[in-house]
Structure 1
């Protein structure tokens, strides 16, 4: 999964343009909350990724999440 894929999915959940999210932005500053993170976790798990909420909450950035997702697939 690419950074753009991750960014696009986050933007869709937040209902904002993907261009507003930089690789190193703290996603919480964009309004990402635990319910939306769990929605993303479930979506990525359904696609075969082995990620947990706590892993994503530790460093909520596109860059960190892309790295986690690429290691877990």
Structure 2
């Protein structure tokens, strides 16, 4: 079976996607710090939510992510696997 359903997010995928919307290298994006300090704004968070809904079937909302903008806080909300 190939590509029949959404795939689970990983912490590294979240980090890579955040880096992509910020135009940064994933290694420069910490998992434990406030991403707003790195330039993540509401429009970028909405873009990530839409991407993850489309590609990974997440149901987490913008508000859930905006309340705690750090990858380590998002991982459990997004059902990320290690």
Q: TM-score, normalised by structure 1?
A: 0.91
Does residue 29 of structure 1 match 2:37? yes
Structure 1: runs of 5 or more not aligned: none
Larger radius of gyration: 2
- Residue 56 of structure 1 and its aligned partner are, at CA, apart by 0.1
Q: Where has structure 1 moved over 2 Å in runs of 4 or more?
A: none
Structure 2 unaligned runs (5+)? 1-8
**Cα deviations by residue, 1:24-50 (Å, 9 ceiling, x for unpaired):** 110000000011110001111113100
* Higher relative contact order (CA closer than 8 Å, sequence separation 6+): 2
Displacement of 1:51 = 1.1
